[in-house]
Amino acid sequence: MRILRWVKKAILLSENASLDVDLRYMPVVRFLREMASAATILEVGSGYVGITPYVNRTVVGVDAEFPAEPMPNMLPVISKGVLPFRDKTFDVVISLDTLEHVPREFRQLFWNELIRTAKRYVIVGFPEGEEAEEHDRLMEQFYVREHGSAHQYFVEHRTNRIPRAEEVAAYLLGARNDVRREFNVRKTKNVNIRIRALFMRLIWHHNGSFQRLYFALTAFSRWDKLFHFGSCYRTIYFLSMKQP
């Protein structure tokens, strides 16, 4: 186990990393590497770890609660709904795998606040579409077989529903009208859905050997581009704010 932890730390300088988390963050990390070190970053729905293990800079993290001590380079802010920041406060506003946990009646506000507080860029990633929803259904069945009950992760996904592309397009149009900001949109696919099904079965398997294999696979995170092909579980939206 020490060897596995050493490998993870050597690659990503963090024992909090896992393959799914790594693959989620690495496209964003590459994007941030192109920015000046003084660029300010806000992560919404960060938890107490978030993107901090991957960047050598301070990140303001916002979440409804922090169940453990935040990472040293995170400035934690507890907040729900409207963000307690002025317009265009941060160079980059990030939110990964959070939108699907937001009730649908609050999702427009969620997008509005991300765009309102961003000066230059907004990066939002989440599972998207019917295939992702079916993937969650199958993974939940597996998790229940292995652990006897559903994880809260799945309950919130089912209750709030996985976003659809057309739904997101409507939110972006709404944000343009509500916040009065113009932006360009680019999106990329993230993590082949069949490959994700395989390694999520490893981490959720009751057999510890399978779990150790999962953490060993984290060594491949540095080549994350190899995983982003075909039908993917997650979509990452990159919004570039137009300057007046």
**What pLDDT is stored for residue 193 in this prediction?**
97
Alpha carbon separation from 112 to 5, 40, 48, 49, 148 (Å, rounded)? 39, 19, 24, 24, 39
**What pLDDT is stored for residue 84 in this prediction?**
97
Hey, which CATH number is domain 2-241, 3.90.1520.10, 3.40.50.150, 3.40.980.10, 3.90.550.10? 3.40.50.150
**What pLDDT is stored for residue 146 in this prediction?**
93
- The answer to whether residues 237 and 185 touch, using CB atoms and an 8 Å cutoff, is yes
Structure-block tokens of residue 153: 């992760």
- The answer to whether residues 45 and 78 touch, using CB atoms and an 8 Å cutoff, is no
- The answer to whether residues 90 and 58 touch, using CB atoms and an 8 Å cutoff, is no
- E strands, the chain, in order: 41-44, 59-63, 74-78, 90-96, 118-127, 183-192, 232-241
CA 47 – CA 39 distance, rounded (Å): 21
Q: Which residues of the chain have pLDDT under 70?
A: 1-17
Domain boundaries, the chain: 2-241
Predicted TM-score (pTM) of the model is 0.91
Please write the tens of the pLDDT for every residue from 111-164: 999 999 999 999 999 999 999 999 999 999 999 999 999 899 999 999 999 999
- The answer to whether residues 185 and 239 touch, using CB atoms and an 8 Å cutoff, is yes
**What pLDDT is stored for residue 5 in this prediction?**
45
Name 229's Cβ contacts closer than 8 Å, sequence gap at least 6: 189, 192
- The answer to whether residues 141 and 201 touch, using CB atoms and an 8 Å cutoff, is no
Question: How many Cα atoms are found within 13 Å in the side-chain-facing hemisphere of 11?
Answer: 22
**What pLDDT is stored for residue 14 in this prediction?**
41
- The answer to whether residues 99 and 110 touch, using CB atoms and an 8 Å cutoff, is yes
Edge-to-edge strand ranges of the sheet holding 59-63: 74-78, 59-63, 41-44, 90-96, 118-127, 232-241, 183-192
